[in-house]
Amino acid sequence: MNTVKQSWMQKGYADEPLPEGIDLKAEIRRLCREKNAIILAHYYTEGEIQDLADYVGDSLGLARQAARTDADIIVMCGVHFMGETNAILCPDKKVLVPDLNATCSLAESCPADAFKAFVESHPDHQVISYVNTSAAVKALTDVVVTSGNARKIVDTFPPDAKLIFGPDRNLGNYINSVTGRNMLLWDGACHVHERFSVEKLLQMKREHPEAKVLVHPECRGAVVKLADVVGSTAALLQYAIDSPADTFLVVTESGILHEMQKSCPGKKFLPVPPDDSTCGCNECNYMRLCTLPKVYNALRYEWPTVEVPAEVARKAVRPIERMLELSK
Ligand code: 13P
């Protein structure tokens, strides 16, 4: 292996200087055409990434899009588990995540060996895993869910089914509360959604009594209680589009404001801040690792690819396909 590639591997992305004077966006589009590549982006990525993408969506939309694309290369602008999901669904395609450091705190909160021991200590339980998990955790799972279909999929189990839900305790608690279940929860959380401040949200509600409160179910229960609507990023966006209200307090990662503002130019979207900060935004540092220069270099060098060991992929594909089937 040459030393340049070795240094990329240490950094987790191809940090080659850009050719002087290039039109980055035009070059990215050219490479996509030449290589039959598609760019998928999550709503939490930077606005300029979303504007360039072929498809922008929530975790469910991204998985569906990957499953149906005929592109040879998928550039997944988001975090690593999203690339893994694509690689598992599309074993014949090259899946690129422009920066391999883009992990997910939820996925990190659930190491596969510890989760395996937890599952094995409850052999009479079926296992439901949130999509924000590693491929190795999905391989231990009966069905995968996203925030957009968790309730629907949990509802497909008989009322007396014994269920494990991991890794997000907040989403698990929320699904337990709306379905009347008592799923056994893994004790994980998203470092962004966990931080939203009840006090600051209450203050903003007092300042904007007419505003609707949009909350992602990865938030703590005390925050969810204050919501007008609880849903995935795509569901919150759709609610804002359909609602006659013109002001919204947004309690999820602030990247979604880009598409909300684009879809509803006449409406006002106010990000609710985290409790440990004086600034107004609550950003996922991992999502922000995806930048246009990294997308360009990923396409140029077709690296970094997301690799899932064949045996893990063989086991993980079933619960992901089951999810896609159940959420039709
Ligand atoms: P959705 O994509 O389902 O809205 O969930 C957000 C998220 O956790 C992305 O990592």
Residues 217-261 pLDDT 10s: 999 999 999 999 999 999 999 999 999 999 999 999 999 999 999
Rounded distance from Cα 132 to ligand 1 centre (Å) = 8
Return the SS3 of 50. helix
Identify the pLDDT of residue 278.
Answer: 62
pLDDT band at 324 (very low <50, low <70, confident <90, very high): very high
Contact 44, 284 (CB under 8 A): yes
Convert the pLDDT of each residue in 52-86 to its tens digit. Answer: 999 999 999 999 999 999 999 999 999 999 999 99
Name the residue of 44, 50, 59, 79 to mutate for ligand 1: max ligand atoms within 8 A of Cβ: 59
- Atom 9 of ligand 1 has which residue's CA nearest to it? 59
**pLDDT exceeds cutoff 60 at 39:** yes
pLDDT for the residue 277? 67
**Which residue segments constitute the domains of the chain, with CATH numbers given?**
3-102+286-311 (3.40.50.10800), 106-190+315-326 (3.40.50.10800), 193-271 (3.40.50.10800)
Residue 172 CB burial class (10 angstroms; 0-12, 13-18, ≥19) = buried
Angle separating helix axes 292-301 and 24-35, nearest 10 degrees: 30
Q: What is the C-alpha to C-alpha distance for residues 267 and 315, in angstroms, rounded to an integer?
A: 45
Longest Cα–Cα distance in the chain: 63
Query: Which residue blocks in 194-309 are alpha helix, DSSP H?
Result: 198-207, 221-224, 233-242, 256-263, 292-301
Give Cα 42 to chain centroid, integer Å: 6
Sequence-separated contacts (24+) of 61-66 with Cβ below 8 Å: 61/148, 61/234, 62/86, 63/89, 63/131, 63/146, 63/320, 63/323, 63/324, 64/324, 65/38, 65/40, 66/40, 66/90, 66/95
Report CA(150)–ligand 1 centroid distance (Å). Answer: 12
From the alpha carbon of 235, which atom of ligand 1 is closest?
Answer: 4
Residue found by looking up tokens 């550039």 in the block: 75
Neighbours of 124 (CB within 10 A): 6
Ligand 1: centre distance to CA 17 (Å): 32
Distance between CA atoms of 67 and 79, rounded to whole angstroms? Answer: 17
Residue given tokens 């050219």 in the structure block: 30
Residue 239 CA to residue 229 CA, distance in Å, equals 8
Q: Quote the ligand 1 centre to 233 CA distance (angstroms).
A: 6
Q: Give the nearest ligand 1 atom to 193 CA.
A: 8
Predicted confidence (pLDDT) at residue 95 exceeds the cutoff of 90: yes
**Per-residue pLDDT tens over the stretch 193-222:** 999 989 999 999 999 999 999 999 999 999
| DSSP type of residue 72 | S
pTM of the model: 0.96
245 Cα: distance to centroid of ligand 1 (angstroms):
24
Choose the residue to mutate in 216, 252, 286, 323 for probing ligand 1, maximizing ligand atoms within 8 Å of C-beta: 216
In the block, residue with structure tokens 């930077």: 46
Cα of 230 vs centre of ligand 1, distance in Å, is 13
Q: 80-89 and 310-326 helices cross at what angle (nearest 10)?
A: 90
The atom of ligand 1 lying closest to the CA of 218 is 8
User: How far, in Å, is the centroid of ligand 1 from the Cα of 20?
Assistant: 36
- Tell me which residues have their CB closer than 6 angstroms to ligand 1: 42, 58-59, 104, 132, 146-148, 218, 232-233
The first and second tokens of residue 270, run together, are: 């106010």
Among 58, 109, 195, the mutation site with the greatest number of ligand 1 atoms within 8 A of its Cβ is: 58
Residue 129, pLDDT > 70, answer yes
Write the CA distances from 274 to 86, 136, 138, 140, 222, integer angstroms.
Answer: 31, 31, 30, 33, 14
Bridge partners (DSSP) listed for residue 214:
229, 250
Give the nearest ligand 1 atom to 287 CA: 10
